Amino acid sequence: MSSGPDMTTHQLIGFVLSIIAPIAVTIWVVFAMKYFSAGYQSRQHAAGDARYRALAVRAAPTRAPAQSRSRACVAYPPCARSACVTALDALA
């Protein structure tokens, strides 16, 4: 007696591919997402650096006087430096 219909080679290949293909596609999609995500993050990071650099260039002229005042207060301990800078700001 036969235990059931035998699968032909064509049916067996179709059955195996129906199991392997979704797994392979899932793995491919995960790695593709990682690749595109890394590229997107890299582009955003570079754009953020460029925006920060432009902001720093615009802020540098306004920051220079405050830095020179804080350098004048270096001899004071940290707790008195803020008072020194505030006093110098009041004189300016």
pLDDT tier at 84 (50, 70, 90 boundaries)?
low
Above 80 in pLDDT, residue 8? yes
pTM tops 0.85: no
pLDDT at residue 53, as a whole number = 81
Q: Is the pLDDT of residue 71 over 70?
A: no
Angle at 44 between CA 40 and CA 48, to 5 degrees: 170
Helices (H), 1-92: 9-72, 78-91
Confidence of residue 18 (pLDDT cuts 50, 70, 90): very high
The tens digit of pLDDT for each residue in 33-52 reads: 999 999 999 888 888 888 88
* Domains of the chain by residue range: 9-91
